Amino acid sequence: MEMSITSDKQNELLSRRELEFTITYNGATPPRKMVQAKLAATMNVGRDQVVLDSMKTKFGITILKGSARVYQNKDDLVKLERAYLMTRGGVAEEVFGAQDAPSEDAAEAL
């Protein structure tokens, strides 16, 4: 799995970096958690500071294009990010703990 960052914008107002990336892979589409871990390693931050926004593939091509946001700290992520994206990416459990994480029903209601 090869990753390249195609766009990297610093958003000072929201204390985050907004990334667009391309991944070339073999076989099945990589899961969100694997992509999130790869982005965290590439950006030298913890996995709990990365939120994947979108991942898109095209039929017959093993290229994935996506966008993500990398926060400077967990507090900014919790204040700004939507609950369903934190739950989908597994960040909610790391940030809030297993008991305090928003349930999937609560995330769907938003």
Q: pLDDT tens digits, residue range 24-80?
A: 999 999 999 999 999 999 999 988 889 999 999 988 899 999 999 999 988 888 888
Question: Could you tell me if 1 and 30 are in contact, meaning their C-beta atoms sit under 8 angstroms apart?
Answer: yes
For Cα atoms 49, 37, 47, give the angle at the middle one, nearest 5 degrees: 20
Q: Is the pLDDT of residue 104 over 80?
A: no
100: pLDDT confidence band, cut at 50, 70 and 90? low
Q: Which of 72, 66, 38, 40 is nearest to 53 (CA)?
A: 66
Residues 6+ apart with CB under 8 A from 18: 7, 8, 9, 11, 67, 68, 69
| Total domains present in the chain | 1
Domain that holds residue 21: 2-109
CATH number of the domain residue 55 falls in: 3.30.70.330
How far apart, in whole angstroms, are the C-alpha atoms of residue 81 and residue 91? 11
98: pLDDT confidence band, cut at 50, 70 and 90? low
